Amino acid sequence: MSDKPRLSVPLSTGLKGVAAISKFKGLINHSTSLSSLSNLDEVKDERIAIQNLLRIEDLETLRLEGFAGNQVLNKEQFIEFLREKIPRGSVKDYDELFESVDVTKEGYISWDKLAEYTMLKLADNDDRQKATSIPNWKGGKSLINAHRDSIKRILHMDSFGRYVSMSKEGTVCIYNDELQLYKTFKTTTESCKLRDLWVTDFVFMPNNNKIAISYTSKEIIIYDMTSKLELNLSYRIVGMISTPYCLDYWSDTENPNDAILSWGDVQGNVHAIFFNSALIALIERPAQQTNDAEYTKVRLEDIANGNYKNASYLTYNAHTEWTRKVKYADQLECFISCSTSTGRALAFGWMEKAGSTVRNNDIVRDRSNYSIRNRKLREQISTVSIDQGVNSFDYSQHFKLIATAGANNEVRLWNPFVLSKPNGILRGHMRSVLFVQFIHSRAQILSFSKDKILRIWDVQLQICLQRISNVFPRGPEGKIKRKRVLFNYLE
């Protein structure tokens, strides 16, 4: 099934010249080849690509014409039969097709062999076209919203079928799948006045329909997202030494009770809280707190000291400057983070291998199995040096690659197990790259730079497929200070 983008981005004019040149060259080559031929028979003898000789409907035609079951054809019979029933190719074309199907050199082929070969070639051709095809962007549009300051993040809540965005001053906007504004409201915290409120990031927790928001008041507040798309205060995590700057949330698809909330702060540290009963209660209510309390107030120090049976905590220093992004990669069993410091631009906090699970008998509230994996950080932290540091990154479990958005205008591809040098360097941006994301279904990478240029790259060929410019609006001073990008595909 072809991909349909959820978000519409205007069509670029950047490749019009390249497309025109390619088309012009094609016309020249075509006209030259025609002029060099003397008659129509020679034109007919031009070679046809093997995958274009047969289509799915042609296989059914051959079967109905008698080429089916246990019947086999040698090369001469095959060429004569196909030339009669499907007069699309030449003798040389069908000769090459026969040789390609008869890989074992038996001298004959059956309908089953031909059908299997044709289906594989068609599937391979479809994948190749999808990987190298340039998206056909629709015209962009400005969305109605209530934000009055910079937008910290926009994401899609699959369980609700809604988009949600949040800005620095705490305004929350919820949109439907057509990107029409559905609801708007403001978040608050009792630790500061409304005029001093400053949201640094937020993240959706899909396994239990909660939202975690970090503030400059050195706290993370977790809200329940109700069916009416309203936020109810659930937990306040306080007692942080440094301001949390970026958030990430991961949950185990096989055991949704197993989850991790991680964040990076302005001192270059990475923190993580491990939950083992996320579907019942992220953090159990303290005994001294009444059941009538509106929310649970949790001190980070208490989690670190092991005062909660269903939550644990770890932290480590990863960078010498602000941690710009953090992500837990379950397949690698490590935390990946980045910063704009050259020496520690990319950091990996590796966890000890979790081969077995341990059942927590203190949290048996129903028949569910609250087994958890032992979590322990290795002593050594792996770091990568990148000139001018990294603004953002993305990890692809499918390709087993990490793409970094460099402040030095480069997108680099890394093998997480071989960090001595990058697998590839994608050059083309003229300003600092702010954002990078894999498109797994197309084997492509999106990158967005400070000068409002969006580029699409082929992962395997490591070439730029499309450049989109002059479509993103400027800020109040005519400059881009920070952009939040969401690219969401419907498969």
CATH number at residue 52: 1.10.238
Task: Show which of 116, 141, 166 is a domain's final residue.
Answer: 141
Residue 421: the pLDDT is 93
Q: Which residue has the tokens 């200070």?
A: 481
| Whether pLDDT at 190 is above 90 | no
Q: Are residues 131 and 178 in the same domain?
A: no
Q: Is the same domain home to 306 and 252?
A: yes
Distance separating alpha carbons of residues 355 and 306, to the nearest angstrom: 23
- Inter-CA distances, 350 with 322, 334, 336, 340, 341, Å: 20, 4, 9, 21, 20
- 217 with 289, same domain: the answer is yes
Provide the residue count of the chain: 491
Please count the structural domains in the chain: 2
* Same domain as 315, residue 201: yes
In angstroms, the CA 245 to CA 214 distance is: 7
Over residues 314-333, the pLDDT tens digits come to 999 999 999 999 999 999 99
Together in a domain, 420 and 459: yes
Parent domain of 82: 47-141
Report if residue 338 sits inside a domain.
yes
Residue 114 and residue 240 in one domain = no
Lookup result for tokens 């899909």: 206
- Final residue of a structural domain among 91, 112, 141: 141
Mean pLDDT for 53-80 is: 83
pTM of the model: 0.71
Indicate whether 191 and 60 sit together in one domain: no
Least confident of 215-219, 323-327, 349-353, 481-485: 481-485
Instruction: Reduce the DSSP state of residue 434 to 3 states and report it.
Output: strand
Angle (CA) 354 356 362, round 5°: 105
The CATH number linked to 469 is: 2.130.10.10
Helix, strand and coil content of the chain, in percent to the nearest 5, comes to 20, 35, 45
Check whether 152 has a pLDDT greater than 50: yes
CA distance 423 to 450: 24
Instruction: Tell whether 114 and 180 lie within a shared domain.
Output: no
Specify the pLDDT at position 317.
95
| CB distance 347 to 400 below 8 Å | no
Give the amino acid at 418: V
